[in-house]
Amino acid sequence: MRFASSTSARAGAALLFALTALPVHAQVETGADARPYDDRLLRLSEILGAIHYLRELCGANEGQYWRDRMKELMNAEGSTALRRAKLTRSFNNGYRSYSRTYTSCTGSAQTAVTRFLSEGAEIADNLTKTP
């Protein structure tokens, strides 16, 4: 089953747009390892992992596209080994969780992708607005 939806495409575009703005925000942050937005950043990492798995499962044929977005996030926010490890763990947890849940593309899997794209876009947008 191939995944295609104009709503999903718009949400995906919004997520991508917001993710491209993250490095600008990240450059402003300095200081201690922990940041006030870390919970949202880890959730975004988990969402990227889930999307990476589910989009491929549903025939999007995007290859490493979502993993590459995660690499960009890591480059922007993975300033220490501990931060990189936390981000990686969140991404992998999202991927593994959905690989255990879905072995074929179902309507439920497609709905999950749509929701993740929307939630991810919202988180990324809010992260770029965080002072």
Per-residue pLDDT tens digits for 47-104: 999 999 999 999 999 999 999 999 999 999 888 999 999 999 999 999 999 999 999 9
**pLDDT on residue 6:** 46
Give the pLDDT band (50/70/90) at residue 130. Answer: low
Q: Give the mean pLDDT of 31-53.
A: 90
Q: How far apart are CA 42 and CA 24, in angstroms?
A: 18
**pLDDT on residue 26:** 41
The C-alpha torsion from 60 through 96 and 65 to 23, rounded to 10°, is 140
Question: Is this prediction's pTM over 0.85?
Answer: no
Residues 6+ apart with CB under 8 A from 23: 72, 75, 76
**pLDDT on residue 34:** 84
**pLDDT on residue 70:** 95
Query: How many CB atoms within 10 Å of residue 38?
Result: 14
Average per-residue pLDDT in the chain? Answer: 82
Query: How many CB atoms within 10 Å of residue 79?
Result: 16
**pLDDT on residue 25:** 39
